[in-house]
Amino acid sequence: MGSAEALGKDAAAHQKLKMLRERLESDIVTADADIVARYSTDWHGDVTSSALAVLRPRATEEVAQAVRACAELGIGIVPQGGRTGLALGAIPDAPETQVVLSLERMNRIRSLDPADFTAVVEAGMVLEAFKEEVAAQGLFFPLALGAQGSCQLGGNVSTNAGGVNVLRYGMTRELVLGLEVVLPDGRVLDGLSRLRKDNRGLDLKQLFIGAEGTLGIVTAVSVKLMPAPEKVATALLALDSLEDVIELYRRARQQCCDLMSAFEFMPPLAFALAKEGIPDLALPLEPGHEAYALVEISGSGFVDTDVLMERFLELSMGDGLVRDGVVAQSQAQARSIWLVREGMNEGQARRGKHLRTDLSVPLSRLADFVTEAENSIADSLPGAICVSYGHVGDGNVHLNVLPVPDATEPVDDQICRAKAVLNEVLDRYDGSISAEHGLGRLKAMDFGARVPAVQRDLLEAIKRAIDPNLTMNPRCQIVLN
C-alpha cells in the first residue's frame, strides 16, 4: 500500500472512530493501543491483530446502541467473550473497519431457579464463576472445558462449545433453553424462555447457537441445570491400542448405562508431555503402554458409581482388554488423573508453535483414521511428532502435529503442509474439520473449499436475510465480502 493511500485509510479510520465516540457513552469506547492489542490477540498468542476500538457495553441496551451506531457508520463488529476460542472467531482481521465488542461487563446472573432447574445469565459471565454459583444451590451446570476459568457463557453459546462432558450432557446447544440476542439492526430478540419444552414452530435460538456472532450478539442465555452428581468414579486405564479403547467405550456405554461423564483417550506420549507441562506431577500409572483411557462415571442418589466402575473393570481386566489401571481412591487422586490430561496440553504448548486440530469421523472409523493420518504425517514430515487424543465417544480426535525441531523448513510452512496432509485423509473419511471448536476465521477458507454449493447458498441466504449489510463478525465462518 502506498503511504498516501495508507494515510487516507488512517484518516478514514480516525473519522469513523470519532463519529462512533459521539454516538456512545464515553466509558464504553476504548482506543488505547495497549488495550486494543490485548483484545486483538488470540488465546495462544499466535495471532495479533488490531481494531478501531474496543467497546465494552454494560447492558443489553448499550449493546443495541453500539450495534446501531456501527451499522450507521459501516463498522464491522467482532463480538468477543473470554477470548479462549481456538478458531479466531473473536479476533478482528480488518483494523481500520472493525471494532471488538466485549461482553465482559455483562456478567451477572439474572435469576437462578432451583425449583425449575434453570438459570438466566448474562453473556459475559465466566463459565467457572457461574458453575460455582450453581453448585452453591446444590445444582450442576455440566459444561466443562479446559478454558472454563476464562471463557464466558456467551462465547460458549456462540461457538456451541463441547468439552469433556459432551458424552453425558451434550454440547452447549443441548443446555440452552433460550437466548437474548441483539440483531444486526439493533433490535433485541427477547427469547429468554425458561420452558423445558416449547415447540412453537421454527426454533429461532438454534440459529444463533454456533453462529459465532455472525447473525447477532448473544447478550444473555437461559440454561438447563441438573441435579449435582454426588459421586464420581475416575479411572486411568492402559490398553494395547486405540481399537481396544473404542471397544472398551462400547462396553462401557452398555454396562454403565450411559452414566459415563467422560471417556478420553490419550497416547503413550501423554505422560512425557504432562511431565513437561507440570514438572512435579506424580504419575498415577506406569507409562509404557500403547493407549490410555480416562473414564469418569458420575451419579447421584441411589446409584453407586464406585460399584459400577468396579464391576465394569472386573470384566474388562478379566478378559485382558484392560492391561493395567488405577481407580482414584480420593478426590486428590482423581485430580492427579485429570492433571495428566491437562498437563499434556500444557506440555504441547511448551514445545512451541504447532498444528492443533479438532477433527471428527464416525466412531467405527476412528482408529483407522488416526493410523492412516499419522502414517501420512510420518511420510510427509519425517521427524514431526503426532499427538492424538480426544473424546472417543464423540469420534472427536485432536490430532496435533509438533513440527520437526531445527528443520530448514520454517515452522509455519511445516504446519501448513501437515494440515493439508491431514485434511486430505480426513476428506476421504467423510470427517469434519471442526468437531467442537467452530470455524471462526481460522477455518473459514478450508470450510468454504469443502462445503457443497447447495449448503453454501443456504448459508449465504440466511446470512443476507438477517445481516444484509454484513456487519456482524465479517469473514467469520463464511467469506462474503
- 155-214 residues in contact with its own copies (CB under 8 A) are 159-160, 162, 166, 170-171, 173-174, 183, 187-191, 193-204, 206-207, 209-212, 214
Q: In sequence order, what are the residues at sequence separation of 6 or more whose Cβ sits closer than 8 angstroms to the Cβ of residue 51?
A: 36, 39, 40, 78, 92, 95, 98, 99, 100
Shortest spacing between CB 97 and its own copies, in angstroms: 22
Quote the CA–CA distance of 211 and 346 in Å, as a whole number: 29
- Eight-state DSSP code of residue 120: E
Quote the CA–CA distance of 376 and 424 in Å, as a whole number: 10
- Eight-state DSSP code of residue 378: H
R_g over Cα of the chain: 23
Give the x-and-dash track for 223-262 against its own copies (CB under 8 A): ---xx-x--------------------x--xxxxxxx---
Q: Which is nearer to its own copies, 38 or 196 (CB)?
A: 196
Q: Which cell numbers hold the place of 456?
A: 453454501
Give the x-and-dash track for 104-143 against its own copies (CB under 8 A): ---------x-xxxx-------------------------
Q: Which position among 423, 434, 471, 473 is part of the footprint of its own copies (CB under 8 A)?
A: 434
Task: Tell me: does residue 299 bind its own copies (CB under 8 A).
Answer: yes
Q: What is the DSSP string of 425-445?
A: HHHHTT-BS-SSS--TTTTHH
Q: Which is nearer to its own copies, 113 or 128 (CB)?
A: 113
- Eight-state DSSP code of residue 175: G
Task: Tell me: does residue 338 bind its own copies (CB under 8 A).
Answer: no
Q: Which is nearer to its own copies, 48 or 241 (CB)?
A: 241
Task: Tell me: does residue 12 bind its own copies (CB under 8 A).
Answer: no
Distances (CA, A) of 312 to 239, 251, 266: 15, 8, 20
Question: What residues numbered 358-387 form the site for its own copies, per CB under 8 A?
Answer: 360-364
CB atoms within 10 A of CB 449: 9
Q: Tell which residue, 393, 356, 353, 399, has the closest CA to residue 375.
A: 399
Question: What residues numbered 62-91 form the site for its own copies, per CB under 8 A?
Answer: none
Q: Which is nearer to its own copies, 225 or 384 (CB)?
A: 225
Q: Tell which residue, 60, 287, 55, 16, has the closest CA to residue 191.
A: 60
Task: Tell me: does residue 394 bind its own copies (CB under 8 A).
Answer: yes
Q: Which position among 112, 303, 321, 404 is part of the footprint of its own copies (CB under 8 A)?
A: 303
Quote the CA–CA distance of 313 and 230 in Å, as a whole number: 21
Shortest spacing between CB 53 and its own copies, in angstroms: 27
Shortest spacing between CB 204 and its own copies, in angstroms: 6
Shortest spacing between CB 199 and its own copies, in angstroms: 5
Task: Tell me: does residue 300 bind its own copies (CB under 8 A).
Answer: yes
Kindly indicate which of the ranges 39-47, 274-282, 304-312, 408-416 contains the residues binding its own copies, using the contact rule CB under 8 A.
304-312
Task: Tell me: does residue 435 bind its own copies (CB under 8 A).
Answer: yes
Q: How many CA atoms lie within 13 A of 392 on its CB side?
A: 28
Task: Tell me: does residue 145 bind its own copies (CB under 8 A).
Answer: no
Q: Tell me the backbone φ, ψ of residue 456, rounded to 5 degrees.
A: -65, -45
Q: Which position among 213, 395, 403, 474 is part of the footprint of its own copies (CB under 8 A)?
A: 395
Task: Tell me: does residue 479 bind its own copies (CB under 8 A).
Answer: no
Q: How many residues bind its own copies (CB under 8 A)?
A: 94
CB atoms within 10 A of CB 481: 10
Q: Which is nearer to its own copies, 103 or 188 (CB)?
A: 188
